[in-house]
Homo-oligomer: A and B are copies of this chain.
């Protein structure tokens, strides 16, 4: 599939195949499918993709993706703003929301501290989290980061910086397997891990 008779098709295949997990063959299928779609449906697809870039905001409070300056979760007065759950990624917010076990608000870090990948505290929204907590100390902060070395490192970094301002700091229960990512955990396990969340010092104590 190196040289195709149509530059337009070839360009589309190359652009679509840049997306993660999509090879050239799948890109060709998608391109031909789009070519056969009614114009109206192509317009809908294009506008939906365009809006992802131009209309989606990062919530000014929690850094979740949002349609407005403040996201629907931070803006919802049924949610408890004194209970903050710290997550790595927006996909974790989606996974946790699906458990219906959490009624607080979030803080999306945008990753975890990972010197191997060149990700230090400065690349994440950690300072925003510390400022947020210092300005309005919450009753509890739940650390819901991946159960990996990088997640643990980030947990400790956050703990050190917020322990003076927060009554209770917890981590979600180690119901999720060590080394596993939150987004691939089933809803029951993930939900249970919220109910059985463990005090930070208990979670990391040698006797736990």
Is the Cβ of B45 less than 8 Å from the Cβ of A6? no
A residues 162-208 in Cβ contact with B at 8 Å: none
CB neighbours of A44 from chain B (8 A): 15
Given A16-B45, A50-B46, does the pair A5, B64 have CB atoms closer than 8 Å? yes
Copies of this chain: 2
A residues 31-68 in Cβ contact with B at 8 Å: 31-35, 37, 39, 41-42, 44-46, 48-53, 55-56, 64-67
What is the distance, in angstroms, from A139's C-beta to the closest C-beta of chain B?
A: 23
Partner of A1, one of B31, B33, B94: B94
Is the Cβ of A72 less than 8 Å from the Cβ of B6? yes
Is the Cβ of A52 less than 8 Å from the Cβ of B94? no
**Taking the complex as formed, is A71 at the interface, i.e. its CB lies under 8 A from any CB of chain B?**
yes
Is the Cβ of B6 less than 8 Å from the Cβ of A56? yes
CB neighbours of A65 from chain B (8 A): 6, 9, 32, 35
Query: What is A's interface to B at a CB cutoff of 8 Å?
Result: 1, 4-9, 11-12, 14-16, 18-22, 26, 28-35, 37, 39, 41-42, 44-46, 48-53, 55-56, 64-67, 71-73, 90-91, 93-94, 97-98
